[in-house]
Amino acid sequence: MIGIIDYGLGNLTSVAGAVEKVGFEPKISGEAAVLGDCGKLILPGVGAFGDGMRNLRQRNLVEPLTELVMKAGKPILGICLGFQLLAKKSEEFGDHEGLGWIDAKVTGLKPDDKTLRIPHVGWNELYQSADSILFDDVPDESLFYYVHTYKMEPADPSIRIGECDYGGRFTAAVQSGSVFGTQFHPEKSQRYGLTLLRNFLEKS
Amino acid sequence: MLRHRLITVLTFNDGTLFRTKLFEPDYRYTHNFVDSWLVDEIVMLDVTRKEGDNRAFLDVVTQFAHDCFVPLAVGGGIRTLDDVRKFMTVGGDKVVVNSGAVERPRLISEIAEAYGTQCVVLSIDARQTDGGGYEVYSACGRNATGMDPADWAKQGEDRGAGEIMITSIERDGSLQGYDLDLCRRVADAVSVPVLVLGGAGSWKHFVEGVEEGGASAVCTQNIYHFTENSILSAKKFLAERGVPVRL
């Protein structure tokens, strides 16, 4: 079973549908005990960083999830806001502390080309900057669907496995041990999105 | 490089797809439609004119969303966060608000606060005025609001709309091309992406929407354009004219 973490934010149905499509059984839950029984976890999410952390705390998920991921090494994939929440801190609407599983900081996208619109919405490249099991059968520079206003930059550049360009390069995917994350939405990126998701579920 | 999107808008009346040449609605075509046809995004709108009961539409969205691995925006009659929750639960990735936001602009901020700005598409229907300007209409084009579309778009952005969809009422179904002046006014007023709808009748209208209208995404409702390879054909046409698209 694949645990999809329900913390009151995000397109859980879409993520569950994609997990099912690539041949796995999704379990949407906000209970630490249920998630603990799942082989792998997905932290989806759209919305604001502060709300995301508040909701995770209110549901008493931060400590048990940290235990499962950082101590027990259960593989996790953070998507979009779920990817940014992996960071230590964020500057979105004031300073917020994140899950801190990755030494990284979330800041606003500031394209050097002022004609570029914010949020960054639509299909854009994923440049594979390092090898990863996520990229098996995914051609370099494939297009993925992005929708975000903030970006997460890890302190250690070696965990950055993918980049995107929107008036400057930013981190689009990370892998640090069994912690994976993508700024784009694999569940909404058609064929290669599903391939990447299947890679995580099969190979992580 | 970010690609310009080609978005298909599907409208439903009491759960039945209409404004098409399909006499028999068959939602099973979605597999081909979404997976093989390179559509970038889909908008599903419920335009049933009776209040309250949208179960038939929710059923259709549920079936559709199950096999939809591109972004899906859903709307029609949204007035409360509870309405939004229903659409998100059945598989929407974002919601489209129109009359509900005109009646109570705070609705935009409420959705943005609960689901993030990327979740709110503010849809604006506008008509030309005698003085050469434009006026926003609500309730499927029935009620004049006295508002200027560019001003309303800017207000929507300030309240938390992540995208603006601008529709020309006169051009709807005309196949004469988008109202580029209207689109440009709105695109110049906001910094969020603008989606243009209403009037596309040929591939060259898509190019105009991007280049002259300043749109980030071009939309069409007339899905009878879209049989077999037509999305690919439209996108090739755009690419040949220098508009970056996903092929």
Nearest Cα residue in chain B from A124: B2
The interface residues of chain B toward chain A in range 154-213, judged by CB-CB distance below 8 A, are 162-163, 191-193
CB contact under 8 A, A149 and B117: yes
Of B3, B35, B116, the CB nearest to A122: B3
For residue B31, the model assigns a pLDDT of: 52
Residue A79 pLDDT exceeds 80: yes
Q: Compute the average pLDDT of residues B235-247.
A: 94
pLDDT one-digit tens code per residue, B41-67 = 999 999 876 666 788 899 989 888 888
Catalytic residue among A38, A80, A92, A164: A80
Residue B22 pLDDT exceeds 50: no
Contacts of A193 in chain B (CB under 8 A): 69
* Mutation target among B5, B118, B191 for the A interface, most CBs of A within 10 A: B118
Residue A48 pLDDT exceeds 80: yes
For residue B33, the model assigns a pLDDT of: 61
For residue B19, the model assigns a pLDDT of: 52
pLDDT one-digit tens code per residue, B154-183 = 999 999 999 999 999 999 888 899 999 999
Decide yes or no: CATH 2.60.120.260 for domain B5-240: no
Give which of B50, B52, B57, B124 is closest to B87, Cα–Cα: B57
Q: What angle do CA B194, B196, B199 make, to 5 degrees?
A: 170
Q: Does B70 touch chain A (CB under 8 A)?
A: yes
Residue B21 pLDDT exceeds 50: no
In terms of pLDDT, which residue wins out, B141 or A107? A107
For residue B34, the model assigns a pLDDT of: 59
CB contact under 8 A, A47 and B70: no
Q: Does A170 touch chain B (CB under 8 A)?
A: no
CB contact under 8 A, B71 and A188: yes
For residue B174, the model assigns a pLDDT of: 83
ipTM of this complex prediction, to 2 decimal places? 0.90
The interface residues of chain A toward chain B in range 124-163, judged by CB-CB distance below 8 A, are 124-125, 143, 145, 147-149
Q: Does B67 touch chain A (CB under 8 A)?
A: yes
pLDDT one-digit tens code per residue, B102-115 = 999 999 999 998 88
Q: Which amino acid is at B209?
A: G
User: Please, what is the angle between helix A190-203 and helix A12-21, to 10°?
Assistant: 70
Known catalytic residue: A80?
yes
Residue B29 pLDDT exceeds 60: no
Q: Does A185 touch chain B (CB under 8 A)?
A: yes
| Local confidence band at B228 (pLDDT 50, 70, 90 cut-offs) | low
Count of pairs with CB atoms under 8 A, one residue in A, one in B: 101
Domain coordinates in residue numbering, chain B: 5-240
For residue B223, the model assigns a pLDDT of: 56
Q: Which of A54-58, B90-94, B222-226 has the lowest mean pLDDT?
A: B222-226
Q: What share of chain B is helix, strand, coil (3-state, %, to 5)?
A: 35, 20, 40
pLDDT one-digit tens code per residue, A95-114 = 999 999 999 999 999 999 98
Q: How far is B192 from chain A (nearest CA, A)?
A: 5
In terms of pLDDT, which residue wins out, A145 or B20? A145
The chain-wide mean pLDDT, for chain B, equals 88
Q: How far is A191 from chain B (nearest CA, A)?
A: 8
Contacts of B1 in chain A (CB under 8 A): 124-125, 165
| Local confidence band at B36 (pLDDT 50, 70, 90 cut-offs) | low
Q: Which of A7-11, A197-201, B128-132 has the lowest mean pLDDT?
A: A7-11
Contacts of A143 in chain B (CB under 8 A): 3, 246
For residue B25, the model assigns a pLDDT of: 45
The domain made up of A2-203 has a fold known as Rossmann fold (3.40.50)
CB contact under 8 A, B193 and A121: yes
What is the rounded distance in angstroms from the CA atom of residue A157 to the CA atom of residue B174?
53
Long-range pairs for B104-110: beta carbons < 8 A, 24 or more residues apart: B104/B79, B105/B155, B105/B156, B105/B159, B106/B159, B107/B78, B107/B79, B107/B80, B108/B156, B108/B159, B108/B160, B108/B161, B109/B159, B109/B160, B110/B81
Give which of B3, B77, B2, B70 is closest to B39, Cα–Cα: B70
Known catalytic residue: A185?
yes
CB contact under 8 A, B2 and A120: yes
Q: Compute the average pLDDT of residues A36-64.
A: 93
The chain-wide mean pLDDT, for chain A, equals 95
Q: Does B23 touch chain A (CB under 8 A)?
A: no
Q: Compute the average pLDDT of residues A178-184.
A: 98
Phi and psi at A126, nearest 5°, equal: -115, 110
Q: How many CB atoms lie within 10 A of CB A56?
A: 23
Residue B197 pLDDT exceeds 90: yes
CB contact under 8 A, A17 and B163: no
- Report percent pLDDT > 70 for chain B: 87
| Local confidence band at B35 (pLDDT 50, 70, 90 cut-offs) | low
By residue count, chain B amounts to 247
Known catalytic residue: A38?
no
Q: Compute the average pLDDT of residues A141-155.
A: 96
- Report percent pLDDT > 90 for chain B: 58
Q: Does B119 touch chain A (CB under 8 A)?
A: yes
Contacts of B67 in chain A (CB under 8 A): 17, 21
Nearest Cα residue in chain A from B163: A119
